[in-house]
Amino acid sequence: MKSRFEQRVIKLSILITSPLLILLIGIITYTEINNETSKVKRSLSEVALEISNTKFVKDSIINGNFNLQKYAEIFVDNNQDVDIVVIADKNKRRFSHLDTSKIGEIFGTKDSEEVFKNKKGYFIITKGSQGLTYRRFEPIIRNKEIIGFVMVGKLFNIFRHTIFLILLKILLLAFVSSSFIFISSRVFAKKIKKEMLNLEPEEITNLYVNTKSLVQQQAAIIDNIHEGVVVLNSSLEIININKKVFEILHEFDIQLFIKRFYDIFYEKKNVYFKEIKIGHEKVFVSIIHLLEDENHLGVIITFYKHLEIINLAKELTSINNVITGFRENNHEFKNQLQVISGLIQLKKYDLVQEYMKNLENSSMKILTEIANISDYYILGILIGKFSVIKEKGINFTIDQDSILFKEHGFITSLDIITIVSNLLENAIEALEKIKIDDKKIELLLLEDNDSIQITVFDNGLKVDPNIKNKMFERYVSSKGTNRGIGLALVKSKIELYNGQFLLEEVDYGKYFTIILNKENKDV
């Protein structure tokens, strides 16, 4: 059963093509009949002229010899467009006729009168003794005098048969054309219907309206998300982007963004909270590929305001540092109280006094080393690290030439903490793997208007030669599986600030140096 859409396409196709088909049939019919008529007229004219100019015919008429019948029959027999040949003298006596019994009789119609008046040939359609005839009259002239005429005719009943055959052929053509239009329009309709997933136009309209409403709802939801969201299709073309993107990023070009992170997009890697610079803006970005049964459906890119993430991280870091500091200082304070309590019980009051003085000198030493560090977040982490490192039997010192401002321009305190903490952790682990008496870690922090230098020295194990060239890659570590995150984070900060990394290994230890550029420059 044909669908409504299929029926409409067929009807519309027939409606459109029918006038053209009728016009075409009319043109063909007119042309065919006109060609056939012209052919008949041409044949009649040629035969009439030939007979009227024949000397034998003229002599027979002058001499009154009624011997032209066989001569006339030759033209009838040899020319399918000629059915009648009548030759008559000026008195209209017939010298030839289709009906031989009429030879010698007077030409009965008045059609021949014009030939004597105008002395020239002409065509006429008239009814004679043989029926309706298409006739050509031609005068027979001798010495400029009309001595008779010749009438050559085509019977209309035979002519109609020819026209009937023409019309039959045209009707056949019309039938074939109509059938072709019907079949082709049906095939065309089926193909379109298949492309439309066998849905009727009304169903597509309803689907479009519902989808449009759903898309508008989705767009409203995306626009109200606090983060900047960009949705790409599988061809990495934007299909949705919310207003927040342009609030977070004043300059955003998706093609440049894809080109910059080519490997992430074309290798379908997921990225979470990667810190990057776009133009003059520093942001965090997550890139999530949408996959279903290994088919790539698209990508969701989420941009987060850098300041909001940093402030949140600062708050968390600050709280964590305070808690860690309290825990470590509480543990150390308990140990110190136990030492003092034991010395008092032993009545070693002079040792108690000496121990208290050493504690005071140790605290003064720490305060002296961090005197030029004005960033409270950095101070918090360093004070906490002092206790941790000391408990491990490692001598930790901060170079007294260190200087660090309270604010660092484009560089955040959290990023400095990330670098310092990870370098110190690496140094601690390098020292834990060896047995020496004088374990030491030294930290140097230098800041000026252009850059920040962070240098950590330790006299622990040297860097494993097998990983030296790839130690910044994620999960590459000599410490075992599921490790190697710290230096990967350090590398991301070096890239973020267009910085440098230097590793200097000497006989007595190794120096890790990181230099960060404070200039806000996209790289």
Same domain, 413 and 287: no
Tell me, what's the pLDDT at 214?
A: 63
Tell me, what's the pLDDT at 170?
A: 74
Domain end call among 162, 188, 223: 162
What 8-state DSSP symbol labels residue 284?
A: E
Same domain, 139 and 85: yes
CB atoms within 10 A of CB 409: 14
Which of 177-191, 252-266, 440-454, 488-502 tops mean pLDDT? 440-454
Same domain, 281 and 399: no
Please report whether residue 357 resides in a domain.
Answer: no
Same domain, 217 and 301: yes
Distance CA 492, CA 512 (A): 16
What 8-state DSSP symbol labels residue 373?
A: B
Domain end call among 108, 129, 162: 162
Which of 71-85, 181-195, 297-311, 476-490 tops mean pLDDT? 71-85
Model confidence at 181: pLDDT above 80: no
Tell me, what's the pLDDT at 11?
A: 74
The percentage of the chain sitting over the pLDDT mark of 90, rounded to a whole number, equals 15
Distance CA 417, CA 229 (A): 29
Same domain, 157 and 209: no
Is pLDDT larger for residue 258 or for residue 137?
Answer: 137
Please report whether residue 169 resides in a domain.
Answer: no
Model confidence at 173: pLDDT above 80: no
Is pLDDT larger for residue 389 or for residue 351?
Answer: 389
Helices in 346-393 by DSSP H: which ranges? 349-369, 376-391
Q: pLDDT-based confidence at 483, cuts 50/70/90?
A: very low
Q: What is the pLDDT of residues 27-42, one digit of tens each?
A: 877 787 788 788 888 9
Q: Which residues pair with 498 in a beta bridge?
A: none
Domain end call among 309, 328, 347: 309
Average pLDDT over residues 247-273: 83
Distance CA 140, CA 116 (A): 10
Please report whether residue 197 resides in a domain.
Answer: no
Model confidence at 79: pLDDT above 70: yes
Average pLDDT over residues 328-339: 57
DSSP run (H or E) holding 441: strand 440-447
Tell me, what's the pLDDT at 312?
A: 60
Distance CA 68, CA 478 (A): 130
Task: Tell me the residue range of the domain where 421 lies.
Answer: 366-517
Model confidence at 22: pLDDT above 50: yes
Distance CA 25, CA 166 (A): 11
Same domain, 384 and 509: yes
Please report whether residue 267 resides in a domain.
Answer: yes
Model confidence at 319: pLDDT above 60: no
Same domain, 149 and 214: no
Q: pLDDT-based confidence at 51, cuts 50/70/90?
A: very high
Q: Does the pTM of the predicted model rise above 0.75?
A: no
Joined together, the tokens standing for residue 488 give: 């990967």
Same domain, 35 and 113: yes
Cα–Cα distances in angstroms (integers) from residue 482 to residues 427, 429, 437, 505, in the given order: 19, 16, 31, 26
Angle at 422 (CA atoms; ends 413, 271), nearest 5 degrees: 80
The CATH number that applies at residue 70 is 3.30.450.20
Model confidence at 119: pLDDT above 50: yes
Tell me, what's the pLDDT at 147?
A: 92
Please report whether residue 176 resides in a domain.
Answer: no
Model confidence at 474: pLDDT above 90: no
Same domain, 156 and 11: yes
Tell me, what's the pLDDT at 452?
A: 94
Model confidence at 362: pLDDT above 60: no
Model confidence at 318: pLDDT above 50: no
Q: What is the pLDDT of residues 212-243, one digit of tens each?
A: 666 666 667 776 777 888 888 888 888 888 88
**Average pLDDT score over the chain:** 79
Tell me, what's the pLDDT at 491?
A: 86
The CATH number that applies at residue 380 is 3.30.565.10
Same domain, 150 and 270: no
Count of structural domains within the chain: 3
Please report whether residue 179 resides in a domain.
Answer: no
Same domain, 296 and 395: no
Model confidence at 1: pLDDT above 50: no
Same domain, 142 and 211: no
Model confidence at 398: pLDDT above 80: yes
Among 192-201, 314-323, 454-463, whose mean pLDDT is lowest? Answer: 314-323
Model confidence at 374: pLDDT above 90: no
Please report whether residue 486 resides in a domain.
Answer: yes
Please report whether residue 394 resides in a domain.
Answer: yes
